Amino acid sequence: MVSADAPRSNAYAWYVVAVLIVAYTLSYVDRSILTLMVGPIRASLNISDVQLSLLHGLAFAIFYTIMGIPIGRLVDQRRRTGIVAAGVALWSMATVACGFAGSFATMFAARIGVGVGEAALSPAAYSMLADQFEGKRLVRALSFYQSAIYLGPAIATLAGGVMLGHLSPLDTALGHFEPWQLVFILVGLPGIAVALLVATLREPARRGASATDVAPPFRAVLHQVADQRGAYGLLILGLCCQSVMWNGAAAWIPTHFMRTFGWTPSQVAWSYGPAIAIAGTCGGLFGGWLAGWMRDKGYRDANIRIGIVAALTALPMIAAAPLMPTAGLSLALIACFLFCGAMPYGGAAAAFQEITPNRMRGQVSAIYLFWLNLAGIGAGSTIVAMVTQHLYGGDLGVSRSIATVAGTAAALSAVALTLCLAPYRRAMDRAGIVA
């Protein structure tokens, strides 16, 4: 194992990015595989759309967000590669446990385990990559890392659709398993190999911090955030609105196609899956490139501006896409929405790293992810479900609900991020960032 003081290699730095992408992709497979199996899970567990949304959102997000803060402190103090490896192993075993769930309560508990494990990944990954890259190279590295947000659901949609189409109920010595339960088990098991892969990474030296530096107490981190609340607060608010937009739509788009156009899970898998993979990944990478280009043109706040561009371009797409009269038109506009909505997240992650002292980055990232996931994963899918049930009259109203919730969230995001521009520039000045 190479020591943390080894010089940074450009090739090795990108190898770290690649390994973290694999881990992050797996995390999104495990968290989003549920969205393709709404029908069979509801039938087996005898639950409603709102209860299903709680399994997808709140059960995962509440402990993901709560555990993120203490894990973020560990990231600022301890070996980050070990933290990530342990997290991968935990969430993978919890995903397998979802396959053994026979009730709403046991599934809820297993989804909590998925959330706790996944809380370890991104605070550590952001901190590690900020020690490997800087400036616009950091934005682009984080944009590649964030591409897993789109690769994971795409793989989950494709693999889940294929497996559901080929798996049959199975009776074993451990009990009876429905196809949806077997899917959870099969997608969870590869995580052990990924955890071992992560464990082979060497711990990067902390840029701008000495070996004797210690992570400040959490109250000092809160003081840092409060002292620059205009930058941190408005950035978090704007990104939370985008997370509601993205997660609220993504959680229910497969159901939109099944209920509105009568698609089977297999049809969703082979149509929507590639749309997420191609449009989402290309949008995320384009957003990283565009933020770097804007920075070269003198826009120091490009990491914020890319979020405004994303919100304003995604809004008309998602407002119209679920209301189209044909599945083809709906899918085309959804692909455009996925491209536009994917653009801001590499810049957003870099924005927090840039204005935050090194030994606070894990904790600040955890605060950001706390609110981002509480809003998007915890509330986004449930808001859509509640609007469907209470405003639009039940199951067939899901399309109008997606358009309403996601469109409103996009507009609010654009307003918050526009207000964030000036305070963020002041925060950059305080951090000594001139370009």
The string of pLDDT tens digits covering residues 177-191 is 888 889 889 989 999
CA dist list (Å): 58 to 111, 183, 208, 230, 298: 9, 21, 37, 28, 41
Query: In the prediction, which pLDDT does 396 show?
Result: 81
DSSP annotation string for 160-191: HHHHHHH---EEETTEEE-HHHHHHHHHHTTH
Query: In the prediction, which pLDDT does 6 show?
Result: 41
Beta bridge partners of 138: none
CB atoms within 10 A of CB 151: 21
Beta bridge partners of 176: 171
Q: Side-chain half-sphere of 174: how many Cα atoms within 13 Å?
A: 11
CA 216 to chain centre: 27
Query: In the prediction, which pLDDT does 41 show?
Result: 85
Structure tokens of 158? 């494709």
Contacts of 332 (CB under 8 A, 6+ apart): none
CA dist list (Å): 174 to 99, 100, 170: 11, 9, 10
Q: Which amino acid is located at 33 in the chain?
A: I
Give the integer Cα–Cα distance in Å for 49 and 138.
40
- Residue 57 sits at the vertex; the CA angle it makes with 380 and 407, to the nearest 5 degrees, is 15
Each domain of the chain, given as residue ranges in start order, spans: 10-205+215-431
Q: Which amino acid is located at 73 in the chain?
A: R
**Residue 146, phi then psi, degrees to nearest 5:** -70, -15
Q: Side-chain half-sphere of 177: how many Cα atoms within 13 Å?
A: 21
Q: Which amino acid is located at 348 in the chain?
A: A
Query: In the prediction, which pLDDT does 209 show?
Result: 58
Q: Which fold has domain 10-205+215-431?
A: Growth Hormone; Chain: A; (1.20.1250)
Give the integer Cα–Cα distance in Å for 270 and 427.
45
Per-residue pLDDT of the chain (435 residues; tens, 9 = 90+): 333 444 456 888 899 999 999 999 988 888 777 777 777 888 888 887 777 777 776 777 677 777 777 888 888 888 899 999 999 999 999 999 988 988 888 988 888 888 888 888 888 898 888 888 877 788 888 888 888 877 887 787 777 777 877 777 877 777 788 888 898 899 899 999 999 999 989 888 877 655 556 667 888 888 888 888 899 999 999 999 999 998 889 888 988 999 999 998 778 878 887 888 889 889 988 998 898 889 888 888 899 999 999 999 999 999 999 999 999 999 999 999 999 998 988 888 888 888 888 778 878 888 887 888 778 777 888 899 889 888 887 778 889 999 999 999 999 999 999 999 999 999 888 877 766
Q: Counting Cβ atoms within 10 Å, is residue 108 exposed (0-12), middle (13-18) or buried (19+)? A: middle
Structure tokens of 375? 């809003």
The answer to whether 91 and 113 are in contact (CB under 8 A) is: yes
DSSP annotation string for 209-243: --TT--PPPHHHHHHHHHHTHHHHHHHHHHHHHHH
Query: In the prediction, which pLDDT does 213 show?
Result: 61
Q: What is the DSSP code (8-state) at residue 170? A: E
List the one residue out of 385, 386, 402 whose CA is nearest residue 330.
402
393: left (phi over 0), alpha (psi -120 to 50) or beta: left
CB atoms within 10 A of CB 397: 17
Alpha-carbon Rg of the chain, whole angstroms? 21
Structure tokens of 147? 């591409």
Q: Side-chain half-sphere of 217: how many Cα atoms within 13 Å?
A: 1
Q: What is the DSSP code (8-state) at residue 35? A: G
Query: Could you give the residue ranges of the DSSP H alpha helices within 321-380?
Result: 327-341, 345-354, 361-373
The answer to whether 174 and 326 are in contact (CB under 8 A) is: no
- Residue 235 sits at the vertex; the CA angle it makes with 130 and 27, to the nearest 5 degrees, is 55
Query: In the prediction, which pLDDT does 151 show?
Result: 80
Contacts of 104 (CB under 8 A, 6+ apart): 45, 47, 51, 55
Give the integer Cα–Cα distance in Å for 382 and 308.
25
With b meaning 16 or more CB within 10 Å and e meaning fewer, what string describes 332-362?
A: bbbbbbbbbbbbbbbbbbbbbbbbbbbbbbb
